[in-house]
Amino acid sequence: MTTVGILHPGAMGATVGAASSAEVIWCPAGRSDASVARAESAGLQPVDSLGDLVERSEVIVSVCPPASAADVADDVAATGFDGVYVDANAIAPATARGIAARFERFVDGGIVGPPAHQAGTTRLYLSGLAADDVATLWDGSVLDARVIDGGAGAASALKMAFATWTKVSSALLLDVRALARAEGVEDALLAEWAISMPDTAERSERTAAGVGPKAWRFVGEMEQMVRAFADAGLPDGFSKGAADLYERLASFKDADGVTLDAVLAALLDSAG
């Protein structure tokens, strides 16, 4: 049986590991109590150090905040790892290609959907020469591993395109509602939405509750989107604005019960 190392199992990475048919190991050194609890719940086996994880793993999968992706790859590459390195982070295609250059065998990955707790919700897109082999690690599981054409950068490009729409549109919706509140026309906006876009008011409330606790790690993802669009010669200001908005919500990190009123207050307070 293949042994897979996971770096570092947060809410998403823990479910990626749990869904695999392989023996999955991770390194708890320096990780939080919450990470340890998630890994234990997912059935991931602890090892003492990164060196132990590298020595035992035939495949290493990186699922970490995008801003840390290159540093995590550097740490693994410095050990001389000669297995398959899978970067499954939300990074620009050029960032993925830069990481690929550190490894002899590399698979680019991009995850779409929430943590994989049930079938039909979450897809892991893979590209690269060993993508077909890596995909088999999740055959028949709740995580739908799909191979797409292209080498390093292809799966990341798909993730960037998909996530730009979902996360930037979420940021824009909250920004619009904050503007209406700041100018004293929120009730009028809600009345117009009720006529022309009936689900929008409720969507803004769901968006605040959903993105508030995660906004802190969306900032690095927005920065990767800026790079992706700039590299393609396309306007990149959408993601820059979203990065600014999510930075203003960083204080809600991992908070429970985040409300729309609290989010709008944070946006408007930071604007003053």
pLDDT digits (tens, 9 = 90+) for 83-128: 999 999 999 999 999 999 999 999 999 999 999 999 999 999 999 9
Distance between CA atoms of 163 and 156, rounded to whole angstroms? 10
Give the contacts of 196 (CB within 8 A, at least 6 positions apart). none
- Residue 1's pLDDT is 66
Cα distances (angstroms) measured from residue 170 to each of 167, 194, 203? 5, 19, 9
Token readout for 2 is 């293949």
Question: Residue 249 maps to which CATH number?
Answer: 1.10.1040.10
Enclosing domain of residue 63: 3-148
Distance between CA atoms of 189 and 183, rounded to whole angstroms? 11
For the segment 187-203, what is each residue's pLDDT rounded down to a tens digit?
999 999 999 999 999 99
Burial-class residue 237 by CB neighbours within 10 Å (0-12, 13-18, 19+).
exposed
Q: Where are the beta strands (DSSP E) in 27-83?
A: 45-46, 59-62
- Residue 270's pLDDT is 86
- Banded pLDDT at 272 (limits 50, 70, 90): low
pTM assigned to the model: 0.94
Please tell me the least confidently modeled range out of 30-34, 42-46, 123-127, 258-262.
Answer: 30-34
Are 7 and 141 within one domain?
yes
Flag whether 68 is in a domain. yes
Are 139 and 192 within one domain?
no
Distance between CA atoms of 112 and 124, rounded to whole angstroms? 7
The structural domain count of the chain equals 2
